[in-house]
Structure 1
Amino acid sequence: MQLRCGLEPRALAALTVVLVGAAVFAATHFWSARPEAVRAPDRVAEAAAVQVGGPGPADAQSPGSVPGPAVGPQAGTAPPGQIVVDVSGKVRRPGIQHLPAGSRVADALSAAGGVREGAEVTGLNRARVLTDGEQVAVGLPAAALPVGGAGTGGAAPGPAGPTAPVSLGTATVEQLETLPGVGPVLAQHIIDYRTEHGGYRSVDELREVDGIGDRRFADLRPLVRP
């Protein structure tokens, strides 16, 4: 090589070092870029199940199964051992009450905050055992009592007498409070609407009074007149 290329010994040694270094660099580069096998993580199905909702041991044994929705009590039904009653009329907190099975009318009145002062409860049997889904009406006129006598002892009433509906155009706050679910605040709203609009032209205008929704309007409609 020295005779053919005319290289000095020092230059030949430098060229040799460069070639050896290039060969080492190329070998290192190809070695580091070689493909490597990647091992999948263990128990992928269990990790996915825990992330979704943490099934129990029985569910973990069948990774292909899809957990269904939780089964609970149906909407609108009382849980076992409880009853649902509607306490309306002249009580402090009228509305739906959840009570233990075997509760009496006195328990429903207590859950509703008690009877309001001045309410007529002479015909109310407070010792009567309640049934699920019934209504307890307190201080309502005879024509307003629900069929089934929920407020008077459970006997179905006879034909209603000639009791006139409450007049929205002339009723006072006290007269309006005898209606189911109407307290002093709502009674005042009814009178304020009457004053502002010059009276009621139809019972349907009650829907526009603040505090009267569809359900309460359905209860009041047969008991009032314009």
Structure 2
Amino acid sequence: MALTVVLVLAAGFAVHHFWTGRPQDVRAPEVVEAAGSFGEPEPEPEAEAVPSTAAEPGATGPGVPGTAGAVVVVDVSGKVREPGVLRLPAGSRVGDALRAAGGVRPGTALDGLNRARVLVDGEQVVVGGPAGAGPGPGVVPGGGTVAGPPGAAPAAPVSLNTATVEQLDTLPGVGPVLARHIIDYRTQHGGFRSVDELRDVNGIGDRRFADLRNLVRP
């Protein structure tokens, strides 16, 4: 019995040794690609092109915004359907002001009207007024403008209460800086009540006031 048991165990050990020692197929290991080379940054995704909304240089008009929220305030009167004070985008032209005022009344002559002129803040546009009536600076009677070249005396007295910087710049000895001082004084004091108040404007002395007193009006 003991010998039989030993033989069975020996046979089982031999079978196990033979089975574990048989040749087996070996599979090659899988190659895993690295996410990126060590020390090299991963490529960044390409940025999408964003269409530009900037206006072309030199472009003006109501469709071309300038400074955010910039407006000009003009007074349109005369032969238009809806006269009044209008707020228009900076860079608007006379033609834009006429359309905003409801258009020109039928039969109004616009031969002398420069509808392509850029509006300035605070000016008055009179449509169909008598030519040569001298309505004042910033007024466009039937279309033209009273202002002449800078430094030349205007044909009619300049209104200190309605004139723009460009209009005041037409007065002799008045440049853009002094014109701005006049408008600032007008804004701070609620307008000019007399020509003599021009003496109180910064930059206007007795000699300059003597040159201007006959060329301006309140």
Instruction: Identify whether the pair has TM-score above 0.5, normalized to the shorter chain.
Output: no
TM-score, with structure 1 as normaliser: 0.33
Which has the bigger relative contact order, CA under 8 A and spacing at least 6? 1
Structure with higher helix content: 1
State the structure with more CA Rg.
Answer: 2
TM-score, with structure 2 as normaliser: 0.34
